[in-house]
Chains A and B, each alone.
Chain A
Amino acid sequence: MSPLLEIKGLHKRFHGVEVLKGVDLSLNQREVVSIIGSSGSGKTTLLRCVNLLEEFEGGEIILDRESIGYRGTGSGRKRLPDRELSRQRAMTGMVFQGFHLFPHLTAAGNVMLGLRKVRRMERAEARALADTWLAKVGLGNRADHFPGQLSGGQQQRVAIARALAMNPKLVLLDEITSALDPELVQEVLQTVKALASEGATLLIVTHEMRFARDVSHRIVFMEQGRIAEEGPPAEIFGAPKNARLVEFLRSSRD
């Protein structure tokens, strides 16, 4: 069976600086992969390329056997029109470090917006689904609260529900606990663990090493725009080979 996500030779520049220098990564269905590495290694940029928030100059991203973002490959390729990009974006879900809930909508409203406007559900159906997902992340009784009335951890859980309710093929999690107060981090990590155990396909960028070790099938270590080492958690954390990875793990422990 072919992988759900295939990233081949991904190159990206920001204002002339090469941020991704040829990344190859594949992800199977129901697999959880965590990307670790120091700031500036390109982890977040990689995620943002997968959900087409960023353009990329070289390489290809194939999601469920469909090449996304561009028509054709190589130098003659063209960025797809907005409608196509939006359709492809709906196939992936993303949870941001800053949550970015829609402040003018309730928790239920946040989850429902995509269901109604992209999946074109009727209001009642969308509301029922939203309620289900909010209950799943432990916020069933907060459905009619506005983001301003929720704690950071609660907001992030709503963001997770919002991404998952769209039934995406793959969920991207971009340092989702980095902006939270320490005591709120666990509730979010628990939610993600529950999702992983139910068979979700997750690509996670995180600083939380213990969490990464517990939840992932595979760890990827990125350094300066490339994947430096990759393997199961036991290997990466127990017997790292790459020198930079060793250094990184040591400094993370401090």
Chain B
Amino acid sequence: MELGLKPLGRERLVLGLMLMPTLIGLVFGVLGSVLATVGLSFTQWDLLTPPKWTGFTHYVALFTDDKFIRALTNTFKFSALYVPGVVIISLAVAVLMNRRIRGVSLFRTMYFLPAVTSAVAAALVWNLIFSRDFGIINAVLERLGGQGVCWLCADHILTAVLIVNIWGAIGEGMIIFLAGLTAIPREYYEAATVDGANETEKFLNITLPLITPSIFFQTIISTINAFQAYDYVYMMTRRGQGDSSFPVVVFSIYRNAWNFFNYGGASAQAVELAVLVVILMAFYFWLERRFVVYE
């Protein structure tokens, strides 16, 4: 197991130098910063006057502050719909593309385009598309005899933000699933055909179990992204005085720290966000042992 090149003499120094940037980043950039965030969360500090020790005040606020509870609820609502949305749609697209029909590479390019584009630029055009009076979505709805709605207002903003975020994430998910699908040995399908299985049976009994590692991986990536979703929320839901019609946790952290100079409170919210992600990851790895099939 202990394979590897052994550093000789002065090469120990070279090894140290090569690892140095990563060690600095790990110790100061990440571990030190996390500890500092935890420390800050017990203080009240605007960076101008000396910090004041406030104990668990900010943590109590996480459960009592209506604004934060609203942000947390929004993050959960968004994630609960975003993660399955991305996983199911990208898997469906990948399965269709894996049928190896002609012109697949053109389709692949088109599905991947949103993944290359900045959320800022994409949100600018989506805002126009969702516009109540001038948007194309309402135009289509009206043409079909329905009534246009205000997509960027409170009632429909979750739908609009979900659509745009999922649109931006399908490309990457599709590639992950395509890689997983092409790794399934073709003989399995040939054997199933000989045994008289139809397409649905093949999908349920071969594809789905053997693609579980990719589903697991994509679920983790999507969950991490969902809890950190910020760009589209910032671009599509901003209201007067820097408020938002759909605040999420990251928005709340940003607003508390950089608009209200409440660095302590924002730190406590960041700690809660990290703890939630870690708990979810632990849950996913528990699920992995029960449901994921590795060959």
| B partners with A | no
Which of A's residues lie within 8 Å of B, judged by CB? none
